[in-house]
Structure 1
Amino acid sequence: MEDSKQLLAARSEESQRNGCCGLDTKTVEDFRRRLKYFFMNPCEKYRARGRKPWKLTIQILKIAITTIQLVSFGLSNEMMVTFKDENLMTFRNLFLKGYKDHRHGSLSLYTKRDVNEHIHYIINRYTNLQNLTVGNLAYELINGDYTPLTLCQVFYRNSTIDPENDTFDIDPHIDKDCISIHPMQSLSNDTLATLLSVNIYLTLKTINLQTVRHHELPDCYDFHIVIVFDNRAHSGKIKVDIENDVRIYECSDWNVEGTSGKNDYLLLSFDSVVFLACFASLILCIRSVVHGIQLQFEFSIFFSAYYNKTVSWSDRMEFVNGWYILIIVSDIMTITGSVLKIGIQTKFLTNYDVCSILLGTATMLVWVGVIRYLSFFKKYNILILTLRAALPNVFRFCVCAAIIYLGYCFCGWIVLGPYHDKHHQKDKEPVSQLQAFIAECIDQPESGRYQNTDESTCCMFSSGCFG
């Protein structure tokens, strides 16, 4: 703002002609030169004043280190997600009777006997878990006692349903009755009439040992499992599925032979380098944005004082570099994600999903920011200017396409949605009569029975053969 005061002080005392003042040529040229320098790219600034392009250097460094950080965390996150999914599939195969790996959707039961047998099956599998599983699953132990299996029935309170006489009396309030693993009682007929769901709660513990191969300390897991018998539709079909809530924490006592923790220190040091680089980039970009805003005010005062003109909003926004705003957002997300990643590696935090979103989005923005540096080359700059000019029209096209698509989705949802299950077989693909007939042949290709096949055997089915 000091420069703007100097501009005003240098104003000539000559009379104003045609809305224009007498100008101090040197002062105006100096200000014009400042504006031109401000809008130069880093290469031009280096040639003009020998100013080293620190922001450009840091951005190039960030592209490398943030990508390496993302890949490192992605591998760790992939192991965690795979471990959770494989354990969930293990629980379904252990506790759901008749469940197959290829089955899509939830298992369904249709008779009271099946419901009771399935509940007894779950309890039996749970009590014999150590003799069944090939994994390192164990029961939860609290104060020297194993956590019991809990069975809860959720049903309408004081309700009667009589389909025969077309009458019902339902209290919408819901009661929950829980019993321990023993004694086990069968569900009564009246209970099933108003039953909403049967929930079986159990807790298992395990350790993710596959991280040792990637030089990471294993995590301990608590799986809080809920087996749900869903009867809310009261359609005669009870859906059975497993819901799983996972708690990840640091194991209380651990020892891995041959490890010194060197890899952990290297990862933490690398994350610290990423943090410092992004923090330096953040400070430099914020300083540039603030400088641009100050220069914008000076330019507005200059135009108002010497030309009696108001600077348009579009001209004002020329001083705010959108790429710097993009870099600032990226740096904030990277810094936050790096802090979460350090917390995850030191076992203080388990926010894998939040950390993935932050690091992934930040890396994407860093790579998008590379486009700015491509604009320094003439041919790339022409392409970027073309994209910038076409962007509003592309956005309008996307809006129109989205409106048409949403209209089609709502129409398809109401017209075809209710019949979706009738047109798809979940358990197997449809088989034609020809495929079914051929499938009855059990001879293998190497059996040798295909070498002397009589090609005219079809004559026995043709009336022409008997003429």
Structure 2
Amino acid sequence: MVVTFKEENTIAFKHLFLKDYVDGADDSYAVYTQHDLYDRMFYAVEKYLAIPNETIGRYAYVRAESGGNWSALMLCQQYYRKGRIDPANDTFNIDPKIVTDCLGVDPEDPQPLPPELDRNYKNFTLKFHKLINVTIQFKLKAINIQTIINNEIPDCYTFTITITFDNKAHSGRVKIHLDNQADIKECKDPSVFGRGDNSLRLFFDVVVILVCSLSFILCARSIIRGLMLQHEFSRFFQRRYNQSVCLSDRMEFLNGWYILLVISDVLTVLGTIMKIGIESKNFASYDVCSILLGTSTLLVWVGVIRYLSFFQKYNILIVTLRVALPDVIRFCCCVAVIYLGYCFCGWIVLGPYHVKFRSLSMVSECLFSLINGDDMFVTFAEMQQNSYLVWLFSQIYLYTFISLFIYMVLSLFIALITGYYETIKHQCEGETPVSQLHAYIAQCKDSPKSGKYRRDSASSCSVFCCCER
């Protein structure tokens, strides 16, 4: 509900303050004449002043503090301190220092402003020949009452709205976009009649915290004991056989599932505590809480794989993933070098000519989609043909990337995992290679339940047990 409330308010603000706005037209919403820029700018200010009489939602102004230098709405323009451009003579004179000029606009006040402070916003003159951008910034308050449905106390929101008229390119096209930042806090003196009791939900949260805390303690104790036993075995093996224990044998003492559970328990406890704080209106970090609980849920479901390992056919797949992981990581590191090379190359060369290559992150997303066979034709078709040389380069670039990564890299990746799968499958059907650790354990023929504990030196039998030497 939190995300939905913010998104729906953002859409409402765009329709309220952006003249002739159409849903989905964020990238193409722009003006091209001075008259249209003034018209859109004054339209937004007028709509702000008319909010109490026009909006369906219930909004309130955030007025400036008495004695402050800021008003409820700030209309600002940024421009170069000195600028003269003469395309006819191919000359210009620019001072890159940026100057900011602002005008404050306040909703109607019972007491009129003094004449020296009463500046009409419609007299605000833009310096188009050196203009960088125009911004309109103001704040509005609202209350999200839909949370009452879930027996929760409503949240109070403060929306910081910024309308930017972007003229940095000086291309004759001024792009317009609206940004909305939401600040959530506890409402003052909340009163909801007939609100349901949340004691059952709170009890469940406390039980989750207790269970996860107990699980954390038990798993952490097992991990610590495993590390102590690993250290003891390494010392014994070095002293007895004068050999060091290899890494794979040392990792046998460390249970990866317990580490997974410890991380999951920590995230669950932290997320649940934040959830209780949010419901009691002591916290408002919804994003952090959702990340913690979502990640812990993912780790819990990954941990379910452990129980599938008790079945032989499922265990083969799990062992394959575990054994192949080191080589898969090495393979991915090698491939990542080539992938980054293609990313930087596409960003530098194709960025000005293709919308999917405008930023490094967009290039990476586009190339990853191509590896999976998505949007191939669109990527080729959207390439501008203004420069034949760049268009030819783009064809070579895309064809080589697709051929290299789909036909070679993915095939090698699949072959790598398939090779491990076949090897482990044959080992399960035949004799399994014995490590140093398992060979040492196999020397003892006694069952763990036999009660016999053998030592290096002979000693008399204990009163409580009798040991065969």
Class of the TM-score when normalised by the shorter of the 2 chains: 0.5 to 0.7
Relative distance call for 1:187 and 1:258 in structure 2 (3 A) is closer
Structure with the larger RCO, 1 or 2 (CA within 8 Å, 6+ apart):
1
Partner letter of residue 227 of structure 2? I
Of the candidates 210, 232, 235, which is equivalent to residue 301 of structure 1? 235
In structure 2, the residue matched to 1:218 is 154
- Secondary structure of the equivalent of 2:354? helix
In structure 1, the residue matched to 2:213 is 279
Residue ranges of structure 1 left out of the alignment (5+ in a row): 1-78, 424-467
In structure 2, the residue matched to 1:183 is 120
Q: How does 1:438-449 map to 2 (within 5 A)?
A: none
Q: Which has the larger radius of gyration?
A: 1
TM-score norm. by structure 1 comes to 0.68
Relative distance call for 1:390 and 1:301 in structure 2 (3 A) is closer
C-alpha distance in structure 2 between counterparts of 1:197 and 1:124, whole Å:
20
Report percent identity of matched pairs: 54
Instruction: Report how far residue 255 of structure 1 moved.
Output: 1.7
- Secondary structure of the equivalent of 1:318? helix
In structure 2, the residue matched to 1:154 is 78
Of the candidates 88, 92, 106, which is equivalent to residue 164 of structure 1? 88
Q: Encode CA deviations 1:224-258: one digit per residue, 9 max, x unaligned.
A: 11111111111111111111111101110222221
Verify the 8 A CA contact 2:64 2:72 in the aligned structure 1.
no
C-alpha distance in structure 2 between counterparts of 1:142 and 1:156, whole Å:
28
Q: Encode CA deviations 1:53-98: one digit per residue, 9 max, x unaligned.
A: xxxxxxxxxxxxxxxxxxxxxxxxxx11111011011111000011
C-alpha distance in structure 1 between counterparts of 2:129 and 2:306, whole Å:
67
Instruction: Report how far residue 116 of structure 1 moved.
Output: 1.0
- Secondary structure of the equivalent of 1:173? strand
C-alpha distance in structure 2 between counterparts of 1:170 and 1:348, whole Å:
52
**Does residue 86 in structure 1 map to residue 22 in structure 2?**
no
In structure 2, the residue matched to 1:270 is 204
TM-score norm. by structure 2 comes to 0.68
- Secondary structure of the equivalent of 2:52? helix
Relative distance call for 1:88 and 1:277 in structure 2 (3 A) is same
Partner letter of residue 320 of structure 1? L
Instruction: Report how far residue 307 of structure 1 moved.
Output: 2.5
Of the candidates 302, 327, 332, which is equivalent to residue 266 of structure 2? 332
Instruction: Report how far residue 192 of structure 1 moved.
Output: 1.2
C-alpha distance in structure 1 between counterparts of 2:208 and 2:315, whole Å:
30
Verify the 8 A CA contact 1:336 1:358 in the aligned structure 2.
yes
C-alpha distance in structure 2 between counterparts of 1:381 and 1:114, whole Å:
68
- Secondary structure of the equivalent of 1:136? coil
C-alpha distance in structure 2 between counterparts of 1:144 and 1:196, whole Å:
31
C-alpha distance in structure 1 between counterparts of 2:300 and 2:237, whole Å:
36
In structure 1, the residue matched to 2:310 is 376
Instruction: Report how far residue 400 of structure 1 moved.
Output: 5.2
Kindly report the root-mean-square deviation, in angstroms, between the aligned alpha carbons of the 2 structures.
2.6
Instruction: Report how far residue 205 of structure 1 moved.
Output: 0.9
Moved more, 225-234 or 399-408: 399-408
In structure 2, the residue matched to 1:128 is 50
Instruction: Report how far residue 143 of structure 1 moved.
Output: 6.4
Relative distance call for 1:397 and 1:297 in structure 2 (3 A) is closer
C-alpha distance in structure 2 between counterparts of 1:241 and 1:104, whole Å:
7
**Does residue 362 in structure 1 map to residue 288 in structure 2?**
no
Instruction: Report how far residue 177 of structure 1 moved.
Output: 1.2
Relative distance call for 1:205 and 1:274 in structure 2 (3 A) is same
Residue ranges of structure 2 left out of the alignment (5+ in a row): 106-118, 358-469
In structure 2, the residue matched to 1:249 is 185
C-alpha distance in structure 2 between counterparts of 1:292 and 1:360, whole Å:
29
Verify the 8 A CA contact 2:71 2:104 in the aligned structure 1.
no
Q: How does 1:228-243 map to 2 (within 5 A)?
A: 228-243=164-179
Q: Encode CA deviations 1:349-375: one digit per residue, 9 max, x unaligned.
A: 221111121111111111111111221
Instruction: Report how far residue 308 of structure 1 moved.
Output: 2.7
Instruction: Report how far residue 179 of structure 1 moved.
Output: 0.8
C-alpha distance in structure 2 between counterparts of 1:259 and 1:93, whole Å:
34
In structure 2, the residue matched to 1:96 is 18
Instruction: Report how far residue 147 of structure 1 moved.
Output: 5.7
Of the candidates 123, 129, 133, which is equivalent to residue 193 of structure 1? 129
Q: Encode CA deviations 1:380-437: one digit per residue, 9 max, x unaligned.
A: 22332233233344445544554554444444444443233599xxxxxxxxxxxxxx
Q: How does 1:397-412 map to 2 (within 5 A)?
A: 397-399=331-333, 402-412=336-346
Q: Encode CA deviations 1:248-271: one digit per residue, 9 max, x unaligned.
A: 0111022222114x12x3333222
In structure 1, the residue matched to 2:387 is none
